[in-house]
Amino acid sequence: MFRRKVRTALCIIGIALATTFVVAVGAATMRYATVIKEMNLLFSGQIMVVSNDSIVIQAFPIYGSRLPQSHTENLLQNIAGVEKTVPMVFISPIAFQDLLNLMPVNFTMGIPVEHWQLILGQTPLKGNVGHFPSSETSNEVVIGPSLADEHGWTIGTNITVGGRKLEVTGILDTKVALLNRCVFMPLTIAQELYNYRSSVNLIIVKPAQGYSQKNLADIIENQIPSVKALTEEERNDTVQPILAQIEIWNIGIQTVVFLISLILVMTVTIMSVSERRRDFATLDAMGAPLSYVFRIVIQETSLIGILGGILGIALGSLGALILASLYSNIPLAQFFPTFYEIIPPLYMLQTFTAVVAVCCISGIIPAINATRMRIAEVLRAEY
């Protein structure tokens, strides 16, 4: 390896660059899929009612007409099997053409103050300090921890939204990506700020005991033709093709990159073995077993994989954080505390193992060739 230092170094750098690409793209796409899946957890077991023309990603409409709040709620409450309805306003700056952003951007949710727990579940406030907005007309908001860290907002901070001053009365204690980047405010305030007066873009329906989501959703759509009612399963089915494409893309990239790495290491090793024919022949003449020569070659390719893998994982991890920052417009420093959420240790270990395994496999053919040398011919030619 050290006889041709430049060539060995270039080979290690090549493996490192391949690993960097795999880790950076793979970790970012995995995080994207995780964020999408997390969205549906907020409305687990409930039905989402939106307008017929709405485009919904997991649990939130990103495009579509508005629903007249009072009229739609009255129609829903007259349907047997509807226990409770929660009108909501969900505001996202995501444009339809930007659906493949790898990380979440900022969101705003308007929720009736009496239904905070139904939407957020048992999500507590950080340090159990502060409180949720006290009334529909209070200029109070609760924010996600990522937003708070990014802007330096604390409880009591006044923020301006749509020209209106709002006071931060609580910071959520959560690791869910969507909640991390969200501003929660009373529904009435959100309707005023975003010109949703007397309308909403989704209504959450809680089925009564004994009613299945599927049957109740069918009843809602039959009795209110202007809406579509999405069950948890239907929301998952909607986004499943996107997740499947992401998985195929990820597997395809890894396959191509590892194949290129295998060819690179094999080529370099074949050259190295060819240049050391005299050394291997001399070892054979001295009585060294063939397995000894075989192990030498495999150990060299393994060492290349180990060094390249370590360097590649380090660079790839940084690359994944940079991608996350670029696609979400969140400062890079904000991602370091959640480093292991974006690049899980198990994923790093799997990638490292795969890199070393590929390098070992690429050394098998050169190692076999080294053990099949005709000692007499090699010694005659070299000496």
For strand 140-143 and strand 164-171, is the pairing parallel, antiparallel, or unpaired?
A: parallel
| Cα distance between residue 84 and residue 185, in whole Å | 20
Work out the mean pLDDT of the chain and round it to a whole number.
Answer: 82
Instruction: Single out the residue of 147, 157, 160, 161 nearest to residue 194, CA to CA.
Output: 161
Angle at Cα 304 formed by Cα 301 and Cα 248, nearest 5°? Answer: 90
Give the Cα-Cα-Cα angle 358, 363, 369 (nearest 5 degrees).
150
pTM check: above 0.75? no
Residue 218 identity: D
Counting Cα atoms < 13 Å in the Cβ hemisphere of 381 gives 13
Query: 244-289 pLDDT, tens per residue?
Result: 887 888 888 888 888 888 888 888 888 777 766 666 667 667 776 7
Q: How many whole angstroms separate alpha carbon 84 and alpha carbon 236? A: 23
Point out which residues pair with 160 in neighbouring strands: 165
Higher pLDDT, 59 or 13: 13
Chain-centroid distance of CA 71 in Å reads 38
pLDDT reported for residue 24: 87
The 10s digit of each residue's pLDDT in 81-115 is: 999 999 999 887 654 334 334 334 578 899 999 88
Neighbours of 100 (CB within 10 A): 11
Q: What is the pLDDT of residues 145-172, one digit of tens each?
A: 888 888 889 999 999 887 889 999 999 9
pLDDT in tens, 302-331: 998 999 999 999 999 998 888 877 766 667
